[in-house]
């Protein structure tokens, strides 16, 4: 047993000696490794400067979002409560979807992005959907959808979208939207400003005008989303109330025609029940008139409430050209140099191993 332990100790000693010997070997060849590191860095610098020198443009906008002003709480608070619309502010501070803590998740959501994709933008003298504009103006055709030795170019690059609802997209269109969403999501970010209630949206693309247009389109789509969600319940109630208003208006017109007919016929009628019937219809018409004007006031109040509930986006720092230009620097250069360094270590190690084997065979 002591002999086995002794053999293990010898093996461990030999292992560490071989490791130290290997590092000594690398140290003796430091000039070659240093040259490989320099050559790799020079190559990547040259590639970024002359062969792949596409710049990126970064833009931002800063704004303030007011979900609901004090007017809705003070002037129309009682009216909103009568229709079950009160307590919006308390819900907002609780678990509401529109709470300020959810803003970043909302603006970067698939729903808001896809609505932005379907918005029309002006491109020179023509208008087109933003998603078509993005496919034509970004680098997605040259990178994500470009062909290679392994796979052909993606057919997505030649597809043109038409204006329609998101629910009507085909599976093929959803695949394209998924690629575009992933691409835009990676260069878009939302950050609240420290010590204030202001919010900033940042975006970076390889096209200066595209960066500016994307930030503006995303802002508009976010505003539409908040407006729709904030006033959704009120609009549903308004639709019901407008239906009742139309029914009352129809009933009033029908009664007016009956009164006019009875007024015309009564002078020629001897039966006194005709006069009583005319008086009854007149009372019904008075009741309908009161109901109609009450309902009209309700509809007008709901319309004012929608205006009060509409979120206000106040842009404090719009996107303006020219945008900041970002050059390719730093990490990619050092990475290529490191790859060349490791590759050279493998080469000289294989060479040394080969020479050692050949030397042993010759002996």
Please give the model's pTM, rounded to 2 decimal places.
0.66
Average of per-residue pLDDT across 144-168: 85
Give 71 or 173, the one with higher predicted confidence.
Answer: 173
Distance CA 9, CA 353 (A): 25
pLDDT tens digits, 285-310: 788 888 888 888 888 888 888 888 88
pLDDT score, position 92: 45
How far apart CA 200 and CA 205 sit, in angstroms, is 17
* Domain layout of the chain by residue ranges: 2-52+331-362, 56-230+316-326, 236-308
Model pLDDT, residue 281: 65
> Residue 199 is inside which H or E element, if any?
strand 198-205
**What average pLDDT score do residues 217-230 get?**
90
CB atoms within 10 A of CB 315: 12
Token pair, residue 298, equals 């309700």
The Cα 136–Cα 128 span in angstroms is 11
Of 252, 327, 308, nearest to 282 (Cα)? 252
For 238-258, letters b (16+ CB in 10 Å) and e give beebeeebeebeebbeebeeb
- pLDDT at position 184 is 93
Q: Which of the two residues, 126 and 262, has the higher pLDDT score?
A: 126
| Model pLDDT for residues 24-41, shown as the tens digit of each residue | 878 888 888 888 888 877
Terminal alpha carbon distance of the chain: 35
- Where does the pLDDT of residue 65 fall: very low under 50, low under 70, confident under 90, or very high at 90 and above? confident
Which pLDDT band holds residue 71 (cuts at 50, 70, 90)?
Answer: very low
Average pLDDT over residues 121-148: 89
Determine the Cα–Cα distance for residues 342 and 25; give it in Å rounded to an integer: 15
Give the residue ranges of DSSP H helices in 267-330.
Answer: 273-309
Cα 7 to Cα 358: distance, rounded to the nearest angstrom: 28
How is residue 136 written in tokens? 């034509």
User: What DSSP line would sit under 200-243, residue for residue?
Assistant: EEEEEES-HHHHHHHHHHHHHHHHHHHHHHHSHHHHHHHHHHHH
Q: pLDDT tens for residues 107-118?
A: 999 999 999 999
DSSP per residue, 91-145? HHHTT-TTSGGGHHHHHTSHHHHHHHHTSEEEETTEEEEHHHHHHHHSSTTTTTT
Task: Check residue 307 and give its pLDDT.
Answer: 86
Model confidence at 104, pLDDT cuts 50, 70, 90, reads confident
Q: What is the pLDDT of residue 60?
A: 92
């Amino acid at each position: 047993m002591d002999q086995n332990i002794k053999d293990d100790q010898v093996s461990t000693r030999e292992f560490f000696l071989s490791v130290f010997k290997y590092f000594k070997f690398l140290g003796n060849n430091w000039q070659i490794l240093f040259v490989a590191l320099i050559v790799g860095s020079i190559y990547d610098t040259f590639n970024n400067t002359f062969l792949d020198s596409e710049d990126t443009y970064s833009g931002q906008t800063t704004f303030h979002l007011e979900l609901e002003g004090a007017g809705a709480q003070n002037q129309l608070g009682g009216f909103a409560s009568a229709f079950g619309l009160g307590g919006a502010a308390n819900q907002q501070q609780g678990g509401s979807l529109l709470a300020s803590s959810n803003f970043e998740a909302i603006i970067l959501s698939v729903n808001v992005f896809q609505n932005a994709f379907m918005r029309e933008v002006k491109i020179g003298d023509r208008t087109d959907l933003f998603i078509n504009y993005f496919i034509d103006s970004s680098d997605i055709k040259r990178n994500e959808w470009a062909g290679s030795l392994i796979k052909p170019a993606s057919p997505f690059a030649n597809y043109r979208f038409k204006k329609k609802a998101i629910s009507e997209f085909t599976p093929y269109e959803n695949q394209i939207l998924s690629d575009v969403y992933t691409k835009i999501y990676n260069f878009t970010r939302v950050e609240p400003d420290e010590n204030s209630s202001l919010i900033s949206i940042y975006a970076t693309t390889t096209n200066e005008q595209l960066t500016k247009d994307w930030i503006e389109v995303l802002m508009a789509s976010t505003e539409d989303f908040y407006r729709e969600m904030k006033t959704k319940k009120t609009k549903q109630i308004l639709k019901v109330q407008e239906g009742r208003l139309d029914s009352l208006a129809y009933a009033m017109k029908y009664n007016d025609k009956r009164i006019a007919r009875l007024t015309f016929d009564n002078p020629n009628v001897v039966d006194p029940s005709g006069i009583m019937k005319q008086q009854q219809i007149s009372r019904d018409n008075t009741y309908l008139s009161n109901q109609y004007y009450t309902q009209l006031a309700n509809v007008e109040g709901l319309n004012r409430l929608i205006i009060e509930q509409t979120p206000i986006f106040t842009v404090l720092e719009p996107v303006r050209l020219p945008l900041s230009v970002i050059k390719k620097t730093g990490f990619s250069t050092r990475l290529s140099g490191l790859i060349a360094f490791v590759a050279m270590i493998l080469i000289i190690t294989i060479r040394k191993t080969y020479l050692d084997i050949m030397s042993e065979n010759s002996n």
